[in-house]
Structure 1
Amino acid sequence: NTRSRSAKEVAKDLRERIRPLVGAEYVVFDDLNNGARKPIQIDFTGPDSRKLLEITSAYMDKLREVPGAVDVGLSQQDPKKELKIELDRGLANSMGISAGDAAQALRVAFAGIEVGDWVDPTGETRDVAVRLHPDDRMSKENIERLPIAVAGTNQMVPLDQIATLTMGKGPSGIEHSNGKRTITVSANAQGRSNGEVTDDAVKLAKSFDYPPGYGMDLGGAGQDQQELFTQMVIALVSGIGLMYLILVMQFGSFTAPLAVMLSLPLSLIGVVLALLITGS
């Protein structure tokens, strides 16, 4: 049985039907031959994942404005909330607190520390660990008041006196490609060919002003197609060169085969006409 609609037409209809759903996360694939990946993929690389997240977020906003680019998303899940703690090492050292002391206090608060064991009513021995209550671990104000012991004394100093705490968002995971941290922005094409949308996506990515150590590269199907075209050009040039050498050996001259070689471009006329007639 033949289908009355193509896969791209079905995908377009699905997007229109799903779009009104508030809070829904979805991805539509109209070509499973691509390994269930979106055809347009731009890889962004750099040393810091958070800076990469800023660059890719700005790029995604611009890419959504490109005609034909739909289902724009990241290779990883949405950023997660995180607590960033910046220790004032100079102030902490002057008070006799090392970075290790602060890290140990935070480790106890979040991961916990074993303080002993307990024998339950059944007679089984269980380890006892102490750490902050889950509600306290989620509160920035409570963590700011976390006491840090001053070495060699009985004094305690609140964490916010020697460190700055800020709430922000960080990457949900860290991906690497060729030894570099990578975040991939991907998209589908609708209403235009994959190649046209990919060309616009690459031009847009190249127009960004990247800090030192950061950059972009074409990935996914676009990279595979680029490599395929390069190999085809190499094979074509090699074939023409080999043909010329065979003619040189047959004619016993380097100039006589040139007349035959110059007729090769004329054969393209028939090839193009044949493709137009057959609709290929």
Structure 2
Amino acid sequence: MLLKESDKNEQADNEDPYKGVLFTVFRWSLELALKLRWLTVAGMIALLVSAVMAFGLVKQSFFPPSNTPMFFVDMWMPEGTDIRQTLKQTEKVEEYIQSQDNVEFVSTSVGQGLQRFMLTYQPEKSYEGYAQLQVRTTSRDNMFELLHKLDGELAHQFAAPTFQLRLMEFGPSPASKIEARIVGPDPQVLRDIAVQVEDILLADPGSRNVRHDWRERTKQLVPQFNESKARRLGISKEDLSSTLQLAFGGNTIGVFRDGTQMLPIVTRLTEAERVDYASLQNISIWSPMLQTYVPVEQVIDDVTLEWQEPIIQRRDRKRTLTVLADHDVLGDETAASLFARVKPQVESLPLPAGYTIEWGGEYESSKDAQEAMFKSLPMGYLLMFIITMLLFNSFKKPLVIWLTVPLSIIGVAFGLLLSNMPFSFTALLGLLSLSGMILKNGIVLMDQINLELESGKDPYLAIVDSAVSRVRPVSMAALTTILGMIPLVFDAFFGSMAITIMQVLALQQY
């Protein structure tokens, strides 16, 4: 109904089908490029070099955040806080967040992370001073407004805990975006190195939530066991430990069944006696040599107050202290930009013999993903090149086609810079997938040139006529793809991939 029918006649059949404005302009620019072919090649090489240099200015990112208007608030109380005190503080924080505008619900987990509800979510381990709040808002825009408000007010409203705001992500979600793992044998040396790393991170204005996973040291009363006195009484250090545990910590002596629930039966001193230091003088321990109970003080010279390591993390059986930090999730900077600034400074720190620094976080996840992908990529490209060689029964013609593939970097670099979007893992997948479309266009054009040459045309005319005859189908295919990508430009996850594909195809048509 939209296409008008026209009467066909002999004169129309003899008319040139490529006399329109599009074909005329394209033919003129093509002939000019062929006439100044060395200048054209030099210009493309210059553009490629400038694009590679400009690519260093493009923001780098591994995986973009999820579109779901949901975020996490990790709350850390000082190490050694009782879980009941953590629960009371969490209830106050939950009530405060729930009272904010545009909040649909708040779910809370105290003592450990939430149950794993999606593949890329990594729950936090069990800590008495830890709680995690999951907040869902009415929309993504309202979520960032609430994040800005909480970022400025949570620390002022609640002085005891520290907070970490985290967005929900599609990709791997490590404990923090930047992780510096310090490996070595001595805990004190590990903490000293960690202080230097933390100072570097804190000096950078773009860093947030700087901390380490060994947490704060805690105070502990340590009995000084006298082995010579204890040996005469037949008492071992294990006997003393069991007695003190029974008195102050408690031992499970049975289980009470209440319907389908089983509750442990614990025997220990009353709470008033457990928190009283003087109770130690009233505790007795069994002596096998005397066959009677003797005061605990007979095998203890003194009780000293010492700082203890409450948490010692290990990786591959080696003591590993991890310094954690995040970028500003509400800012325009990515974690890769912050990492690029602090990495040289951290690696330049002098380390004692036997101590090393390894990098985790987003850097490690991105590196592992790219290594896994690029491991099989060369073989795939080799097979594609062999297929094009067999298709044309030549080495030179496929090589000419493949030399156009690196030019796609021009569209990627300038497209992402103009749109201020990061080069993420999805953008990388889009760039790799475009190589197939670029090769397809080259194969179609080369095949048409071969047909024109076989018909007896001059090589120059064969190139010009083939390019002019293929400009419409190739342009229409690219245009439909670009139009199809427009809705994805505004998507948080696929935005960088859409910009990559659109810019490369637009440049190719140019």
What is the TM-score of this pair, normalised by structure 1?
Answer: 0.63
Output one character per residue of 1:45-95: Cα deviation in whole Å (capped at 9) or x when no partner: 769896698369634454322331113345687655433446454664366
RMSD of aligned residue pairs (Cα, Å): 5.0
1:65 to 1:196, Cα distance in 2 relative to 1, 3 A: same
Instruction: Describe the SS at the equivalent of 1:265.
Output: coil
Q: Is the 8 A contact 2:183 2:320 kept in 1?
A: yes
Q: Is the aligned partner of 1:108 residue 2:246?
A: yes
1:137 to 1:232, Cα distance in 2 relative to 1, 3 A: same
Output one character per residue of 1:214-253: Cα deviation in whole Å (capped at 9) or x when no partner: 764403x443333333344335433322222223434556
Q: Is the aligned partner of 1:25 residue 2:167?
A: no
Alignment of 1:11-50 (within 5 A): 11-21=147-157, 23-29=159-165, 31-33=167-169, 39-42=176-179, 44=181
Higher Cα radius of gyration: 2
Tell me the distance in 2 between the aligned counterparts of 1:140 and 1:202: 48
Query: Structure 1 stretch 60-69 or stretch 202-211: which is displaced more?
Result: 202-211
Report the residue type matching 1:167 in the other structure.
E
Q: Is the aligned partner of 1:152 residue 2:289?
A: yes
Instruction: Describe the SS at the equivalent of 2:390.
Output: helix
Report the residue type matching 1:168 in the other structure.
W
Higher RCO (CA 8 Å, separation ≥ 6 residues)? 1
Tell me the distance in 2 between the aligned counterparts of 1:2 and 1:164: 57
C-alpha deviation, 1:203, in angstroms: 5.0
Report the residue type matching 1:54 in the other structure.
R
C-alpha deviation, 1:175, in angstroms: 6.6
Output one character per residue of 1:123-152: Cα deviation in whole Å (capped at 9) or x when no partner: xxxx995x5454554456754885555541
The aligned residue for residue 473 of structure 2 is none
Report the residue type matching 1:266 in the other structure.
L
The aligned residue for residue 166 of structure 1 is 305
C-alpha deviation, 1:189, in angstroms: 1.4
Instruction: Describe the SS at the equivalent of 1:27.
Output: strand
C-alpha deviation, 1:210, in angstroms: 6.9
Q: Is the 8 A contact 2:164 2:209 kept in 1?
A: yes
Structure with the larger helix share: 2
Output one character per residue of 1:198-220: Cα deviation in whole Å (capped at 9) or x when no partner: 3445556654737858764403x
1:81 to 1:208, Cα distance in 2 relative to 1, 3 A: farther
C-alpha deviation, 1:22, in angstroms: 5.8
Q: Is the aligned partner of 1:238 residue 2:379?
A: yes
The aligned residue for residue 365 of structure 2 is 224
1:53 to 1:94, Cα distance in 2 relative to 1, 3 A: farther
Q: Is the 8 A contact 1:87 1:99 kept in 2?
A: yes
1:57 to 1:25, Cα distance in 2 relative to 1, 3 A: farther
1:54 to 1:232, Cα distance in 2 relative to 1, 3 A: same
The aligned residue for residue 494 of structure 2 is none
The aligned residue for residue 466 of structure 2 is none
Alignment of 1:72-87 (within 5 A): 72-73=210-211, 80-85=218-223, 87=225
The aligned residue for residue 119 of structure 1 is none
Q: Is the 8 A contact 1:110 1:137 kept in 2?
A: yes
Unmatched 5+ stretches in structure 2: 1-137, 253-264, 421-498, 500-510
Q: Is the 8 A contact 1:137 1:143 kept in 2?
A: no
Report the residue type matching 1:209 in the other structure.
L
Q: Is the 8 A contact 1:85 1:164 kept in 2?
A: yes
1:106 to 1:259, Cα distance in 2 relative to 1, 3 A: same
Tell me the distance in 1 between the aligned counterparts of 2:295 and 2:160: 48
1:62 to 1:229, Cα distance in 2 relative to 1, 3 A: same
C-alpha deviation, 1:269, in angstroms: 3.0
C-alpha deviation, 1:98, in angstroms: 1.8
C-alpha deviation, 1:15, in angstroms: 2.5
Q: Is the 8 A contact 1:39 1:187 kept in 2?
A: yes
Tell me the distance in 1 between the aligned counterparts of 2:318 and 2:235: 35
The aligned residue for residue 69 of structure 1 is 207
The aligned residue for residue 265 of structure 1 is 406
Tell me the distance in 1 between the aligned counterparts of 2:250 and 2:405: 77
Q: Is the 8 A contact 2:222 2:304 kept in 1?
A: yes
Q: Is the 8 A contact 2:182 2:190 kept in 1?
A: no
What is the TM-score of this pair, normalised by structure 2?
Answer: 0.39
**Aligned residues, how many?**
265
1:48 to 1:266, Cα distance in 2 relative to 1, 3 A: closer
Report the residue type matching 2:406 in the other structure.
P
Q: Is the aligned partner of 1:209 residue 2:351?
A: yes
C-alpha deviation, 1:196, in angstroms: 1.7
* 2:390 equivalent among 237, 249, 272: 249
C-alpha deviation, 1:262, in angstroms: 4.0
Q: Is the aligned partner of 1:99 residue 2:228?
A: no
Q: Is the 8 A contact 1:45 1:52 kept in 2?
A: no
Tell me the distance in 1 between the aligned counterparts of 2:151 and 2:327: 12
Unmatched 5+ stretches in structure 1: 115-126
1:264 to 1:110, Cα distance in 2 relative to 1, 3 A: same
